[in-house]
Every structure is written in structure tokens, then in C-alpha cells.
């Protein structure tokens, strides 16, 4: 795993990872649970856009590692954080190998947003995660346009819900496990332009790198985008 400082080394690192920018041929990232994928446009998390994630920080981190770790077609994951404290061993247990992971860190939120925007333009076959305290509607529109330009996918991990141009918003919380498996409560709070949502409890099978649904917790309406 490479740890870099976005303001000084990000461009050269992106050049090393991608070589040449080209639009991705991957249409989307399925979660792999039919009950969830079926409520998503195209039955997957769409590329060419950003998706928001809120909730418990530990649960969000482990869920995103498991989600992207099982997507072998995702060649690179760039994780932009305020502190270089991600534990690669724990992420690897969830399928996200350090060979596919680069961590970029800076304490300034504006720098993390800048790094995400630039990276979305250059990682068509990768995924970009950025942890931020806040981002306004204009900033999320810039991120969305950057993802659209390259066909890339981004995950904006936020502390607070705000007006946003993101395609979806998810809440991830820890859930009680039936055994020692990692378990989350996953709620789809918002789909841009739609009113479908739901809440599910998922557990992760480390051997198969697959999610399994423990329970559907009732379907509510996600907030329609304006």
C-alpha cells in the first residue's frame, strides 16, 4: 500500500496507476444481493457518478472495503483520508488487498475534495473514496461532473447529510452478528430522481467474499432528488 500526500504526489501516483486515461467499459458495481441490486437503476451502483455514505465510521470503512474488495474488475482503490491510519491487514481480510489500495491523506477538507475531483478524472477502472467533514452542493456537483467525464465511481464518506448531487446516499451501521461474521445494517436513504429505498441487514462471508442478506427491515421511501 502506498501512502502519499495529495498536494505533492497525487498526479504522479495517478499516472503510475493508470498510464493513460480512458473511459471505463464497466457499467456499474453490483452489491451482489438481488434484493438490493433490484432497487438500483441498472441493478448496480452506477459508474460515472458519486455515491454518498454516512453512518458509523468503522462500519462504513469495513463495508466499503468489503464492497470494493470483491469487485475484481476494480483495478485500483484510492482512499483519501484526514489521517493515514487505515489498517491494511484488516482491509485485506475483507478482500481489499494492499496491492490495489493507495491511501492519500491530508488534514484539510478542501484538499481532500480537490484530490477526489482530480482522481475521478484519471481512474476510469478504479474507485475513489474520500472522507470529508462537509461538502456543499456546488462541490458535489464538481465531483459528479468529474466522475461523468471519465466514467469513474466515487464514494463520499460524510459526517452530515447536506444537499448533494450524488446519485445515491447510504447509511451504514453495525449490526449484531449471529456468529463472528462482519454484519451491517445498510439503508438506502436516497436515489437521485427516484423514490425507492429500503433497509437490510447484511453479513459478509470471508471465504467467498460475498454478502448475504440476514433480514430485510422494511422498505421505506428514499428521498427523491430535487
Inter-CA distances, 127 with 5, 28, 35, 41, 219, Å: 18, 11, 24, 19, 28
Average pLDDT of the chain is 86
Residue 106, helix vs strand vs coil: coil
The residue that leads in pLDDT, 170 or 12, is 170
**Measured between alpha carbons, how far is 9 from 84 in angstroms, rounded to an integer?**
15
Confidence of residue 119 (pLDDT cuts 50, 70, 90): very high
With cut-offs at 50, 70 and 90, classify the pLDDT of residue 221.
very low
- Asked whether the beta carbons of 183 and 211 are under 8 A apart, the reply is no
Share of the chain above pLDDT 90, in %: 62
C-alpha cell at 109: 477538507
Q: Please give the pLDDT value at position 58.
A: 95
> Taking residues 32-52, what's their average pLDDT?
94
CATH 1.10.150.530 fits 2-10+29-224, yes or no: no
Where is average pLDDT lowest: 35-49, 51-65, 206-220? Answer: 206-220
Q: Which residue has the higher pLDDT, 196 or 133?
A: 133
pLDDT of 218 reads 62
Q: Using a cut of 0.85, tell me whether the model's pTM lies above it.
A: yes
What CA–CA distance (Å, rounded) separates 77 from 92? 13
Range list of H helices, the chain: 6-18, 34-37, 57-69, 88-93, 109-120, 137-150
pLDDT band at 176 (very low <50, low <70, confident <90, very high): confident
Comparing 209 with 225, the larger pLDDT belongs to 209
**pLDDT-derived band at 23, boundaries 50, 70, 90:** low
Nearest to 67 by CA among 215, 218, 223, 204: 204
The backbone torsions φ and ψ at residue 196, rounded to the nearest 5 degrees and listed phi first, read: -100, 140
The average pLDDT across 98-103 equals 91
- In this prediction, residues 93-106 reach a mean pLDDT of 91
Asked if pLDDT for residue 205 goes beyond 50, the answer is yes
> 129-172, pLDDT tens digit by residue?
999 998 999 999 999 999 999 899 999 999 888 889 999 999 99
- Please report, to the nearest 10 degrees, the dihedral formed by the alpha carbons of residues 39, 163, 78, 28 taken in order: 20
Amino acid at each position: 500500500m502506498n501512502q502519499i500526500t495529495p498536494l505533492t504526489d497525487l498526479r504522479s501516483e495517478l499516472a503510475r496507476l493508470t498510464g493513460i486515461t480512458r473511459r471505463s467499459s464497466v457499467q456499474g458495481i453490483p452489491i451482489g444481493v438481488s434484493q438490493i441490486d433490484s432497487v438500483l437503476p441498472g441493478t448496480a451502483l452506477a459508474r460515472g457518478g458519486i455515491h454518498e455514505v454516512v453512518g458509523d465510521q468503522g462500519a462504513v470503512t469495513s463495508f466499503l472495503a468489503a464492497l470494493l474488495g470483491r469487485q475484481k474488475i476494480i483495478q485500483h482503490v484510492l482512499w483519501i483520508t484526514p489521517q493515514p491510519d487505515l489498517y491494511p491487514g484488516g482491509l485485506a481480510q475483507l478482500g481489499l488487498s494492499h496491492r490495489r489500495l493507495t491511501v492519500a491523506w491530508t488534514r484539510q477538507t478542501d484538499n481532500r475534495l480537490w484530490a477526489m475531483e482530480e482522481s475521478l478524472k484519471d481512474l476510469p477502472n478504479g474507485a475513489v473514496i474520500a472522507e470529508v467533514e462537509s461538502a456543499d452542493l456546488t462541490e458535489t456537483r464538481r465531483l459528479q461532473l468529474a466522475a461523468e467525464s471519465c466514467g469513474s465511481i466515487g464514494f463520499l464518506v460524510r459526517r452530515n447529510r447536506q444537499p448533494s448531487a450524488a446519485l445515491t446516499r447510504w447509511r451504514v451501521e453495525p449490526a449484531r452478528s449471529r456468529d463472528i461474521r462482519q454484519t451491517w445494517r445498510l439503508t438506502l436513504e436516497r436515489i437521485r430522481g427516484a423514490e425507492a429505498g429500503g433497509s437490510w441487514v447484511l453479513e459478509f462471508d470471508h471465504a467467498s467474499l460475498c454478502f448475504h442478506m440476514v433480514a430485510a427491515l422494511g422498505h421505506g421511501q428514499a428521498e427523491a432528488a430535487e
